[in-house]
A = this chain, B = another copy of it.
Amino acid sequence: MNLENTGRLTLPTDLDMINETIQLKELLGADALRDCDGTLMPETLLDQDAKIYATYYTTRKDNDWAMQNPEEIQQEYLISDRVTAKDTRLRIELMKGFHTQQLKVNTIDSPKRWWEVIDRTTGEVVPTDKWEYEEAAGEVVIETIPYHQYTVSFLAFLIWDPVHMYNFITNDWKDAPHQLTYDVRQPKTQAYVKEKLKKWCEENPKVDVVRFTTFFHQFTLTFDDQKREKFVEWFGYSASVSPYILEQFEKWAGYKFRPEFIVDQGYHNSIFRVPSKEFQDFIEFQQIEVSRLAKELVDIVHSYGKEAMMFLGDHWIGTEPFGKYFANIGLDAVVGSVGDGVTLRMISDIKGVKYTEGRLLPYFFPDVFTEGGDPIGEAQDNWMKARRAILRSPLDRIGYGGYLKLAINWPGFIDQIQKVVGEFRQIHANMQGTKAYTAPFKVAILNCWGNLRRWMANQVHHALWYREIYSYVGVIECLSGMPIDVEFITFDQVRQGLDPAIKVIINAGDAYTSWSGAQNWTDERVVCAIRRFVDQGGGFIGVGEPSACQYQGRFFQLSDVLGADRELGFSMSTDKYNELNSEHFILEDTPGEIDFGEGKSRIYAQGKNYQILNMDGKYSRLIVNSYGKGRSVYFSGLPYSPQNCRILLRAIYYAAHQEAEMKKYYVTNVDTELVVFEETGKIAVINNSKEPKMTVLYVNGQLRKQLYMAPMEMCWEDL
Contact = CB atoms under 8 A, between A and B. Distances in A.
Interface in A560-594: 560, 567-575, 577
Secondary structure at the A interface, as helix, strand, loop or mixed, is loop
Contact of A553 (B120, B230, B528, B554): B120
B512 A573 contact: no
A515 B109 CA distance: 48
B230 A575 contact: yes
Contacts of A145: 524, 528
A687 interface: no
B535 A147 contact: yes
Given A267-B570, A270-B573, A575-B224, A146 B532 contact: yes
A147 B568 CA distance: 25
Contacts of A148: 524, 528
A527 interface: yes
A272 interface: yes
A646 B470 CA distance: 38
A568 B146 CA distance: 29
Contacts of A422: none
A233 interface: yes
A236 B232 CA distance: 49
B146 A575 contact: no
Given A120-B552, A123-B552, A571 B267 contact: yes
Given A527-B121, A531-B147, A568-B512, A236 B573 contact: yes
B575 A228 contact: yes
A595 interface: no
A468 B231 contact: no
Interface string A197-227: 0000000000000000000000010001000
Contact of A231 (B231, B560, B573, B602): B573
Contact of A573 (B233, B528, B617, B628): B233
Interface residues of A, number: 66
A90 to B, nearest CB: 13
A467 interface: yes
Contacts of A617: 467
A91 to B, nearest CB: 16
A268 interface: yes
Contacts of A113: none
A528 B229 contact: no
Given A82-B553, A552-B120, A272 B532 contact: no
A506 interface: no
Nearest to A220: B573
A84 B574 contact: no
B510 A568 contact: yes
Query: Shortest 9 CB-CB distances between A and B: which pairs?
Result: A265-B553, A147-B528, A233-B573, A272-B569, A147-B531, A266-B553, A120-B552, A513-B569, A267-B570
A319 interface: no
A188 interface: no
B270 A571 contact: yes
A529 to B, nearest CB: 8
15 contacts: A84-B560, A86-B628, A120-B552, A121-B528, A147-B531, A148-B524, A148-B528, A149-B560, A228-B577, A233-B573, A268-B573, A270-B569, A273-B570, A467-B617, A468-B569
A272 B573 CA distance: 10
A468 to B, nearest CB: 6
A329 interface: no
Contacts of A121: 524, 527-528, 552
B572 A466 contact: yes
A154 to B, nearest CB: 16
Interface in A178-202: none
Tell me how many chains of this kind the complex includes.
2
Interface in A122-149: 122-123, 145-149
Contacts of A628: 86
Given A82-B554, A272-B572, 17 more contacts: A84-B560, A86-B535, A120-B553, A121-B524, A121-B527, A145-B528, A147-B532, A224-B575, A232-B573, A265-B553, A266-B574, A467-B617, A468-B567, A468-B572, A468-B602, A512-B550, A512-B569
A626 to B, nearest CB: 13
Contacts of A571: 266-267, 270
A536 to B, nearest CB: 10
Nearest to A149: B560
A460 interface: yes
Interface string A531-549: 1100100000000000000
Interface string A480-522: 0000000000000000000000000000011011000000000
B575 A231 contact: yes
A553 B80 CA distance: 13
B122 A524 contact: yes
A500 to B, nearest CB: 18
A404 B602 CA distance: 41
A477 B570 CA distance: 22
Interface string A64-97: 0000000000000000001010100000000000
Nearest to A84: B560
Nearest to A236: B573
Given A528-B121, A528-B146, A229 B575 contact: yes
A38 B480 CA distance: 66
Q: Which of A230, A553, A569 has the largest number of chain B CB atoms within 10 A?
A: A569
B510 A270 contact: no
Interface string A258-293: 000000011110101100000000000000000000
Nearest to A509: B569
- Residue among A220, A272, A617 with most chain B CB within 10 A: A272
A428 to B, nearest CB: 37
Contacts of A524: 121-122, 145, 148
